Structure 1
Amino acid sequence: MAVLLGGALLGGWHGPALAESRHSVTPALRNTLESVLSEAPSPEQIWASRQWIDSMEPRLARFVSDPELRLLLVQRIYQEARLAGLAPEIVLAVIQVESAFKPEAISSAGAVGLMQIMPFWIAELGRSADDLRDPLLNLRYGCTILAHYLEVERGDLTRALARYNGSRGQTWYPERVMRAWRQHWWFAH
């Protein structure tokens, strides 16, 4: 899976993958969501993660005032993004655009949580006990869904972001995410 680096809420926004709710989920996406990769990090990966967390945690302060919660959130964003093969900075930008880091956010279309996940995913996966208001679980769903769309779109982040938002074929949403990334979450690796 490729790792890509690289305002006001607009009308027509419907939360991630609203279009997918009209169709059954593909077996590939189901398998992606149901599987979790686990592998022990190398010392270099541990050092890189600490550098990234130390850089991003203060930037998150404008959205999350509680220092303990902020540190936990930035650590989990890094972990879930890397687990899904995503650049964690892009995940931060998606969360900023989707919910402004408010885990209790619910869109007019019913998308829930930090990454604004549509509740149909719970039913589709047969995981009725999952609570999308749980920020850590919401991160797992959101990162996995975005990674799947990035794979479907053969590494094209603009198209993957549009799919994630349910605005396929339009560029306003990917442009907002990329602007948030450049302005707030850019990190030189």
Structure 2
Amino acid sequence: MENRALAVAGGIVAFTLTTGCAGSAPDNPATAARSPSTTSTAGPSVQHENGSVILLSAEVDGVMDASLSGVIVRTEPGCLALTDDPTDIPVLWPHGATLSADGMSVDVPDFGTVTVGDEVWAGGGYINPGSGEPIVPTFPEECAPSGDTSVAALQAFTEGPPPWDVASPGPPS
């Protein structure tokens, strides 16, 4: 357990060090062309469509290695979030992801479409939006966490739970 905690902490430190200079303009022409609904700076950005909003990470060279899972929900104000019942945690989507015109799904590069209601598994981690991390955009009002100080950075999606997340069978009877 101690080795796993050290590995996670080491991954976060390595991630933090590699993202310090990672900001760049979005490389997805569809995202850049949607300037009325996309707010972008040197890397992280926000997309709005049909009453929904997503937070997009700046481009990064690595990923955090915590295992995150949950169901994607649309909060009442319209932020797409990961539910950790009863808390909905705003999602920081990977660089290059795009919000659909109906605001109910996100096209994730190198993975596919994630729709509100889908259960997801991803490598990533939690980031405090006030930490000054250069990969986190300025929070729109719809995604301002209430009572929680983190966002769920979903960075490396998988088709199902990793082997270590699968519940072990009960004892033989």
TM-score band, normalised by shorter chain? 0.3 to 0.5
Q: Flag the structure with higher helix content.
A: 1
Which of structures 1 and 2 has the bigger CA Rg?
2
Structure 1-normalised TM-score? Answer: 0.31
TM-score (norm 2): 0.33
From the two aligned structures, give the one with the greater strand fraction.
Answer: 2
**Relative contact order (alpha carbons < 8 A, sep ≥ 6): 1 or 2 greater?**
1
